[in-house]
Amino acid sequence: MAPKVPSFGSQEYWNSRFTSNIDPFEWLEAPDALDLYITNVLRATGELKPELLHIGCGTSLLSYHIRAHVKDPNQIHNLDYSEVAIHLGKQREHELYPARCNGNGRSSANAPACMRWDTVDVLNHTSLLAACKPRAYAVIIEKSTSDAISCSEDVHIPLPYPIAIRSYTPIDMELRQSSEPIHPLYIMAVNLALVARPGARWIALSYSNDRFPFLNASSNTLLEDHLFPDPRVLWTLVKKREVEGAKSQPPEDGDSSSVTHRPRVLNWVYVLERTNVPLFVRGDNI
């Protein structure tokens, strides 16, 4: 019998996973794999204290690694679908920086701020906006979150979608469910565009060499623009680079004949840029 495929779109799956193993887990690469990209993007913002959104933080040490790139830890906002992961993240930050943060992810009096932590479903714009302000973030960072989202089932969404490119789009249009489900990565891209400021950079580490198919100008899988925003007009690809995985190491006895030579493993770093096309939540202009 074939092994059961994990339910990456299930909050229950992630809570169970992080409950059964509370140790830090790194997806694809070590926390420092994105250092060069983070440094370059932060420099390009020209802002004194840009806000960074770390989506799908899980139990990765990347959250704490990012702290070295900012002046104020409160600039970093960690999100995850699992409340267990968020609890562990707050707890670990308190253990690493006991004089600065309490165990609830809040800053201690007269001490430097700690990072922000929230349980959020990035496929639900209401959940996202409950924790994040529109047009707030200059940098979005993730390690394999888009991979996990892409492995989730396609989603039926209300039409017209609550987020629109035109503020004057009527809100009294007859609501209906999409006849065909939408790829969850498209939904996440639109929702993230709502909280990213113009010119924001989205740094994504992925195992796929074609992780963002919606950037393909020939893609015809999207709905009409007045029903669902076209993510192609919200994000552009700035950079795509190969990242070679760790190589096999010879045994301690120096006998290289016993080394198992694994095939070359490549991961990919994508840097996307938020365009100047504005987004609106339907009805907010009334």
The pTM of the full predicted model, rounded to 2 decimals, is: 0.86
Q: Which pLDDT belongs to residue 48?
A: 92
Looking at per-residue pLDDT, the higher value among 108 and 122 belongs to: 122
For the segment 117-153, what is each residue's pLDDT rounded down to a tens digit? Answer: 999 999 999 999 999 999 999 999 999 999 999 999 9
Token pair belonging to 48: 């004194």
Token pair belonging to 46: 């020209």
Give the number of residues written for the chain: 286
| Beta carbons of 219 and 44 less than 8 angstroms apart | no
Q: Check whether 254 has a pLDDT greater than 80.
A: no
Q: Check whether 240 has a pLDDT greater than 70.
A: yes
Average pLDDT over residues 201-213: 96
Q: How many CB atoms lie within 10 A of CB 255?
A: 9
For the segment 40-69, what is each residue's pLDDT rounded down to a tens digit? Answer: 999 999 899 999 999 999 999 999 999 999
Question: Which domains are seen in the chain, by residue range?
Answer: 22-246+277-281 (3.40.50.150)
For the segment 13-43, what is each residue's pLDDT rounded down to a tens digit? Answer: 888 999 999 899 999 999 999 999 999 999 9
Name residue 82's amino acid. S
- Going by their DSSP bridges, the two strands 158-159 and 137-143 should be labelled as unpaired
Q: E strands within 180-265?
A: 196-206, 235-244
Q: Which pLDDT belongs to residue 221?
A: 57
CA dist 202 and 213 (Å) reads 15
CA dist 84 and 22 (Å) reads 9
CA dist 89 and 137 (Å) reads 21
Q: Check whether 173 has a pLDDT greater than 70.
A: no
For the segment 223-234, what is each residue's pLDDT rounded down to a tens digit? Answer: 666 789 999 999
| Beta carbons of 27 and 60 less than 8 angstroms apart | yes
Reported as a pLDDT band with limits 50, 70 and 90, residue 262 is: low
CA dist 58 and 56 (Å) reads 6
**Residue 284: φ, ψ to 5°:** -65, -20
- Which residue in this structure is represented by tokens 């990209």? 37
Do you find a cis peptide bond into 6, omega within 30 degrees of 0? no
State the Rg of the chain over Cα: 20
* Residues facing 142 on adjacent strands: 204
Token pair belonging to 253: 């006895």
CA dist 139 and 259 (Å) reads 41
